């Protein structure tokens, strides 16, 4: 899963302790989200698989190409946070679509609840990343 490549990289390249801690926390949440998604697939009688998302891969590639060009550490960390914001917005869109699909298929409430829990975590991660981006920019 792409997140398990990107988030550890962000943790190691982020200098700001608060932002690094937020990335570390979200990595743990992402592991739980992956397990919940696998549970939803199994509830549908499907084998879970790890498919790559082209838009998320493009976001990661763009971030990697540009992050090293940002010289000031606080600005680079703000850039990391902005990349996280973009990623969380895309992930929220995916969860919304999955929840709508699950509801349309009349899946049991437990499966929908698992998706909604992950969506709530992604929304929280978005708010944290936005707040950290603003904080870092205000410190420059």
Q: Is the pLDDT of residue 140 over 90?
A: no
Q: Is the pLDDT of residue 1 over 90?
A: no
**pLDDT value of position 2:** 56
How far apart CA 115 and CA 76 sit, in angstroms, is 32
DSSP, collapsed to helix, strand or coil, labels residue 47 as coil
DSSP, collapsed to helix, strand or coil, labels residue 2 as coil
Cα-Cα-Cα-Cα torsion 92, 97, 102, 105, nearest 10 degrees, comes to 170
DSSP, collapsed to helix, strand or coil, labels residue 49 as coil
The secondary structure of residue 72, as a DSSP letter, is S
How far apart CA 116 and CA 14 sit, in angstroms, is 29
Tell me the per-residue pLDDT of 81-114, one tens digit each, with 9 for 90 and over.
999 999 999 999 999 999 998 899 888 788 899 9
3-138, which class in CATH? mainly alpha
Tell me the per-residue pLDDT of 28-67, one tens digit each, with 9 for 90 and over.
999 999 999 888 888 777 888 777 788 888 888 898 899 8
Of 3, 39, 36, nearest to 125 by C-alpha is: 3
What does the pLDDT average to over 6-25?
93
């Amino acid at each position: 899963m792409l997140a398990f490549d990107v988030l550890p990289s962000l943790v190691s390249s982020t200098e700001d302790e608060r932002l690094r801690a937020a990335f570390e926390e979200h990595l743990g949440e992402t592991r739980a989200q992956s397990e919940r998604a696998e549970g939803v697939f199994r509830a549908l009688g499907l084998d879970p698989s790890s498919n790559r998302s082209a838009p998320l891969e493009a976001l990661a590639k763009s971030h990697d190409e540009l992050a090293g060009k940002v010289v000031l550490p606080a600005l680079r960390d703000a850039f990391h946070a902005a990349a996280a914001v973009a990623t969380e917005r895309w992930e929220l869109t995916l969860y919304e679509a999955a929840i709508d699909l699950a509801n349309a298929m009349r899946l049991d409430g437990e499966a929908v609840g698992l998706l909604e829990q992950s969506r709530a975590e992604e929304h929280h991660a978005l708010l944290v990343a936005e707040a950290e981006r603003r904080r870092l920019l205000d410190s420059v």
